[in-house]
Structure 1
């Protein structure tokens, strides 16, 4: 009977293959764990931290307004009707013209946005930079658009996913839903009026003083008024398109 002979070089090749397979398996497991940690960080940790920070900022603003010295309201607060629009309901309080308040500093939180249907209450800060504003869980005010209660378009942006995701469910807002904006001096109430489910991320028309999409030209307005615009990314977990919700000012009252 012939006895098989196993050469040393054959054994070495087999050992090298086993080590390569083992190393490859360890590498795949390591990559999988790292990816899992990144997903957990983005979907859980950033939301947790941003929401906590936003809640603390809301509490700080409420304390500040409770003890601080009021600043003058905007000089072009609405009269009995919106300019050129018979649909605007009469605000509960008419303001006398006063000196316009100073423009908020970049990334400064200066207002609170409340959407009862979404159980949402978050700070509004000046600017829409990610690191300075949006990643903190805040809602950002587009520079160049109007301030709360002013004639024109008060336009805001917020994350739909991660970093507090304040606008995660704005697609659920329906016509007539209430949106409130509080400042040091007044509380402004808006009613949701229209939704643009999807438009280009570069559709600047939705931010105009009279907001109207330049991509979907049937969406928006043609007459001056007192508008609130909410924008966020769509579909979820992408930034390819924008979702837009428009609301109209219905009332204002001093704090």
Structure 2
């Protein structure tokens, strides 16, 4: 008997072209979103790392010039300062008066400035810094303008106690970016309307906790690392900033002692 040969009918599967187009469109839209997000992030980084620095440095420079005009000295010219007297040994206070006057004719900055008022100029030759010093450490009113901020409640320039300052390490002018380069013996001057105070760097605390209030105490000494700091009264300068760079996890501290006072 002959076997019947079954004929196979081919089955044609048609792909859903509409679904493929939707998938391709979804992938394209996702890629556009990723690229757009990347561009936005780059713009934000550029704004933080470049534009805020440019704006703050320009404002800080204008403020320094305005102070110099107000003080009646040529713009861009630092007053001549003689070589500071030898740095006093730890335990000896520099021969300066109490904050507000006294001390053999040497006087400290007297009245407390208004909040956010720029009233002094700090110069650190080692790192090429010239910046205004303003009262307070608020971000909007002081630090984000590229200013160096004076901790309220601490001594004024040249005063007995601790003249404590803060500044950004990154962005917004970053005046304290390179204070980690300061070494013992480096000079820091703080100029006011009538007087130029010179401090000499002699101690550094590379890292401490943000809440270590001892570093800006009248006699500065770390609460976290109590073996770092001072034990006797004097006229001190404290610089504080964030560390490591681009973070605010810890604080970097540089200390100096008053070593010279010159009237303008």
* CA separation of 1:100 and 1:83: change in aligned 2, threshold 3 A: farther
Separation in 2, partners of 1:132, 1:54? 12
Separation in 1, partners of 2:106, 2:197? 17
Paired residues, number: 238
Q: How does 1:77-88 map to 2 (within 5 A)?
A: 85-86=91-92
When Rg is computed on C-alpha atoms for both structures, the one with the higher figure is 2
Separation in 2, partners of 1:168, 1:207? 19
> Is residue 51 from structure 1 mapped to residue 60 from structure 2 by the alignment?
no
SS across alignment from 1:188: strand
SS across alignment from 1:244: strand
Task: Note if contact 2:107-2:158 (Cα within 8 Å) is conserved in structure 1.
Answer: no
SS across alignment from 2:132: strand
Separation in 1, partners of 2:200, 2:34? 52
Per-residue deviation at 1:82? Answer: 7.5
Unpaired runs of at least 5, structure 2:
1-8, 74-86, 97-102
Residue in 2 that maps onto 1:239:
248
Residue in 2 that maps onto 1:251:
260
* CA separation of 1:103 and 1:89: change in aligned 2, threshold 3 A: closer
TM-score w.r.t. length of structure 1: 0.88
* CA separation of 1:97 and 1:149: change in aligned 2, threshold 3 A: closer
Separation in 2, partners of 1:152, 1:126? 17
Residue in 2 that maps onto 1:172:
181
Counterpart among 14, 24, 45 of residue 6 in structure 1? 14
Runs of 4+ with >4 A deviation: 1-5, 81-84, 88-91, 97-100
Residue in 1 that maps onto 2:29:
23
* CA separation of 1:95 and 1:186: change in aligned 2, threshold 3 A: farther
Separation in 2, partners of 1:234, 1:102? 33
TM-score w.r.t. length of structure 2: 0.85
* CA separation of 1:41 and 1:148: change in aligned 2, threshold 3 A: same
Per-residue deviation at 1:84? Answer: 8.4
Counterpart among 133, 144, 163 of residue 124 in structure 1? 133
Counterpart among 185, 200, 204 of residue 194 in structure 2? 185
* CA separation of 1:51 and 1:176: change in aligned 2, threshold 3 A: same
Per-residue deviation at 1:103? Answer: 1.2
Residue in 2 that maps onto 1:77:
none
RMSD between aligned alpha carbons? Answer: 2.3
Residue in 1 that maps onto 2:47:
41
Residue in 1 that maps onto 2:212:
203
Separation in 2, partners of 1:96, 1:55? 32
Residue in 1 that maps onto 2:159:
150
Residue in 1 that maps onto 2:76:
none
Separation in 2, partners of 1:3, 1:55? 81
* CA separation of 1:121 and 1:156: change in aligned 2, threshold 3 A: same
Residue in 2 that maps onto 1:230:
239
